[in-house]
Every structure is written in C-alpha cells, then in structure tokens.
A and B are shown apart, each in its own frame.
Chain A
Amino acid sequence: MSQSGYALRRIREKIYKWLFAVLAFASLIFLVGIILTLFREALPVFTQFDILHILFGRAWYPTSTPPDFGMLPLITASIVVTLGTMVVCVPIGIGTALYLHELASSSQRAFLKPMIEILAGIPSIVYGFFGMVIVAPFLQNALGIPTGLNAFTASLVLGIMATPTVASLAEDALSFVPRSYREASLALGANRWQTLTRVVVPAAGSGISTAIILGMSRAAGETMTVLMVAGGAAVIPTSIFDPVRPMTSTIAAEMGEAVMGSPHYHALFAIGLVLFLITLAINIVAEIISRKYRLKLGLGR
C-alpha cells in the first residue's frame, strides 16, 4: 500500500475512534441533563418556601389557597412502602437465588429459571392492575380492613415484583464464589446446608447486599404499582394498613392537573429531585460495596 494510503487509513481510524468517544458521552449528557432539568424546574419553589418546611412540613395541600407543600407525608409513605417491600422481597428473593443456584437440579433449573424470568418480565402496570382488582379486594375481605388499597397491599405486590431483581443479582453474587470454597468446606465434613450458610453466603455477602440495595432502589422508584395500589392519601400513615401516597405516585397523579409554571408544578419537580437524590445515593452505596467485593475476590473491574 502506498504511503498516502497508510496515512488515509490512520486518519480514518482516528475519526472512528473520536466518533465513538463522542457517542459514548451520551449517557453522561443525559444524566447531567436530568440533574440540571430537575434543579432548574424545582428551584422556584424553594425560593417561595423554606426548604426545611418543604422537606419536613406535615401538610401536602397543593391545590388549596394558599397551597402548602410539606413533603413529609410523601417521604414517610415512600419509606414505609419501600421497607415493607424489602420485608417481602429480600427473604423470597435470596431464598429463590439460593435454591436455584445451590440446590436445584439442572432439570429443575431449566423449568424454574424461565418462570422467574417471566415474573421479571411482567410490566409494572400489570402488577398494579392485578393488585387493584384481585389482591386489594381479597385482603380487604380477609383482614376486615376499611380499604384494600393501602401500604400493606402495595408492599406485598411491589415485593413480588422486586423479587426477580433481587434473586438474579443475588444469583450473580453466588456464582462468583469460587468452587474451591465449597469443596474445602465439604471436604472438612460439613454438609451442604452448613456449607451454604457458613461458607457460601458469607463469601457472597457483599454481592448479596448489593442485590438488596438495588432491589430497594427499584422499590423506591417504582411508580405505576404504588399509584394504583397504595391508596393515594397524602397523610402521614399511622398503621401499615393506612392508604398512603408515596413520592412517585404523587408526581404521576398530580402532574397532569398542575398548571405549567405554578408553585404546584415546581413542587412536583422538587419531589422528583428529592427522589432522584435518594435513589442516586442508594446506587452509589451499592456501587461502592460491589467494587470492594470484586476487589476482595480478586475479580477486578
């Protein structure tokens, strides 16, 4: 090939490299864009109301005059529903992962794994619909409570929905535990259950905690299911059977009626901002843990 041909080729290679580099920045740009947009649209409400009043005010009356934008009921609701969800999805999810990865025979796994994947593939709106028309009326009758649409039902349905997330991440963590750990434990005379609880699970511990944390982030950010099932009352709940209105469903339910540019509109973006910051914090913690864990097992990045 001629000298100029080589030069041309080298330039073309450079161009491709830079093209890909530029496109690779897309996700960074979108993330920054989301942050900027949230701040820009949320800030006006913080100039009109005290930030502490917004975060810890106990009254969310966006449409009364004068309006009040205390987010505490919404934040409490999100916390209650998220914790409730964890109570359901952590044991079930981790139990499922342990069974699939450590106990199931290959034929069992061939059947069970697709089933869990189907559970993961069901859209959240279908979970919400199912919770609304089947689970809520059932619980209302069975428990004799005034309404089936409450924090408990939302936690239960969300818990089932988050189970596949926790299960598949926990399964990944289990698969990183070296085979030699199990063999050493079995060779020392431990049975399979002892090997599982005292060697495999502790070795996969940080991976499993990452799974739990990411499941939590998913539960906190889930919208449609809680919108349909949680009941929607913007009051600080006194019991798990009270109807609640978490942050996500507040945005979804009220954005349509909020007048563009009104304090209500900006307050909804403020909720979005708080929600974003909470999930960001959760994700960063998960990231740090999983990085440490990979280093510990010598997996690198």
Chain B
Amino acid sequence: MSSEAGGYHGADNPEGEMERAVHGRDVTQVLGFALLFCCILFALFFLGTILYFILSRGLPVISWEFVTSVPRRAMTKGGVAPAIVGTFYLTVGAMACAIPLGLACAVYLCEYSPRTVMVNVIRLSINNLAGVPSIVFGLFGFAVFVKVLGFGVSILSGSLTLGIMALPGIISASQEAILAVPMSYREASLALGATHWQTIRKVTLPTAFPGILTGIILNVGRVAGETAPILFTAATFYTRGYPDSIFSEVMALPYHIYALMTEGTHPEVQTGIAYGCALILLCLVLAVSAVAIVLRQKQRSTYAA
C-alpha cells in the first residue's frame, strides 16, 4: 500500500510507473469486487433453487382439502390439517413459556443488574444456552419432561422444550430493544418522582415494546420450524384427529416432512405430500419473519424521523 500510495502522490515519480501501479491495483479491485459479488450470487442462487422447487412441486399438491382435512388411507390421501394445528399449538405453548421468563430476565439484566459476579454468570449461561445443539434440548426434554415429570410425549413436553430453546433468543432481542430506549426517558421519569418499577412499567417497556415484539416474532418463526427438540417430546407421525388436551401427542409440520420421507409404505405419494408440507411450513415461517422485517423497517424510520 505504502509504495503505491507514495507513487500516487509523489510528483517526482516517473509517470508510467505510477500509472501501471494504479492500473494494476484497479484491476485487483475490480476482480476482488467481482469475487465478493459471486459469493452473494451463489447464496442467492441456492435460495432461488430452493424456492423454485418447493413452489413448483408443492403448489399442485395444495388444495382446500389438503389444508383442512385429516390424513386418510395410510397418509396417501386427505390433508395435513392436524399437523398445521399441532405446529400452531406447540409454537403458542413455547412462546407462553419463553416470553414471560425471557422478558423478566432482560428487564433484570438491563434495568436492575448490579455489576456483580452473578449477573456475569447469568449472561454467560444465556450465551451458552443459545449455543446448545437443538437435539440436546430434545434429550433434556425427553429425560425431564417426558420421563421424570411424567408428562409423556405431549404438547406440554414439546412446548416446554421448545420454550427453553427459544429463551436465549427472546432475552437477547428484548435486551436489545430495552437498551435502545434513550437514557433521558428514564431520567425524566425518575426526576418526576416515579419509582424505578413505575419507570420500567410506564416508560421503558412501552417505549421498547415495538422492538421486543419484532424480536419475539422472529423467534416464533424459528420455533415453528424446529424439528429436533420435538422428535421425542411431542411429535408423532399420525393421529386420528386433532389433539384434545395438552397431554396428547401431536402431528407437527416439520416432523411430518421428516416422517413422510423416512417412514411409511408409499414413498412416491409421500414425497408429493412432503412437498406440500414444506411449502406450507415455508410460507408460514417466511410470512412470520416478513411481518417482523416490515415492523423493524417501520421502527427504523420512526427513530430516524
């Protein structure tokens, strides 16, 4: 860099050398930029291929009957409605566990957190919980909720397992939103005589709410698509109808795709149905994340204004 940079500015350097140096590094720059562009193109190519195949082969399978009726004739006919409903229950259950805990944890860490060793330990454990492989959550849920606590393979066990898995994500999203609230808001509230808790409840949390909501929605999408944690805690290949209590096992869209591809007796028909399930799952998950992205875009423009 130094020699070329010197060549560029030094008036006494021969002009030809300078031009060659400048030309050479410009060529490198163009090649380098092209390389980076190829990287992103490769990722986009894969995205396009995935979307193309799932859409083109999934759409013909989808019909009103497919999304609203129960499977018939050993999974070769009928629909996957119980799986859609099951995924809905599991996601709602997981969020019901994770949101209160995660929010409380974020509030404590951002608003109260005395700078003690314990707070650092909590931070460290959140980071590490976020890195635990999903199948290990499945093992934990199986050993604790299914066996020790005796909930069996059920919506409850699955929701708790998924909830624990979603916890770090909810905490860090809420933390980010709470930290984004300007300090002056809190100071103004405290100066007016409000207590710490009143400030949190009436000033900090309402201001942070849109950000928290975005974070939660993003996590909803992730939880809905998870398979490994529910493999042994909640999911089953086939139920006769819809689940009737939180202690019944359920069909779930992600698990259903896996089961269709690995079990059963009619592989050809099942692959078709799996395309349909994949399309429905993809649409649900992407619709949820799209909502979050739009919300975030809106917030950015409000903050900017």
**A residues adjacent to B (C-beta < 8 A):** 9, 12-13, 16-17, 19-21, 23-28, 30-34, 37-38, 40-41, 91-92, 94-96, 98-100, 103, 112, 114-119, 121-130, 132-134, 160, 163-164, 167, 185, 188-194, 196-198, 214, 217, 220-224, 227-228, 248, 251-252, 255-256, 260, 268-269, 272, 275-276, 279-280, 282-284, 287
Contacts and interface: CB of A to CB of B under 8 A. Distances in A.
Given A25-B122, A118-B47, A160-B43, 12 more contacts: A27-B168, A28-B121, A37-B139, A95-B38, A117-B289, A121-B285, A121-B286, A123-B282, A125-B257, A224-B227, A275-B133, A283-B127
Contacts of A224: 227-228, 254, 258
A32 B138 CA distance: 15
Chain B interface size, as a band, is: 35 or more
Residue of A38, A119, A134, A223 contacting most chain B CB atoms (<10 Å) = A223
A126 B136 contact: no
A101 to B, nearest CB: 10
Contact of A24 (B28, B104, B140, B255): B104
Contact of B197 (A12, A32, A100, A163): A12
Contacts, number: 267
Interface in B42-83: 42-44, 46-47, 49-50, 53-54
B303 interface: no
Interface SS of chain A: helix, strand, loop or mixed? Answer: helix
A283 B140 CA distance: 19
Contacts of B134: 221-223
A95 B232 contact: no
Interface stretch (B2-10, B181-189, B205-213, B241-249): B2-10
B177 to A, nearest CB: 16
A221 B136 contact: yes
Contacts of A103: 33, 36-37
B5 A189 contact: yes
A123 B131 contact: no
A40 B43 CA distance: 42
Given A20-B112, A99-B39, A283-B128, A28 B122 contact: yes
B221 interface: yes
A118 B286 contact: yes
B289 A121 contact: yes
A199 B100 CA distance: 44
B139 A251 contact: yes
B299 interface: no
A36 B143 CA distance: 11
B109 interface: yes
B193 to A, nearest CB: 9
A228 B40 contact: no
Given A37-B143, A103-B36, A221 B132 contact: yes
Nearest to A157: B46
A197 B25 CA distance: 12
Interface string B129-166: 11111111111101110010000000000000000100
Given A13-B197, A103-B33, A276 B132 contact: yes
A66 to B, nearest CB: 24
Given A99-B39, A125-B281, A275-B136, A24 B289 contact: no
Residue of A115, A118, A256, A269 contacting most chain B CB atoms (<10 Å) = A118
Contacts of B100: 23
Given A118-B47, A193-B29, A222-B133, A37 B196 contact: no
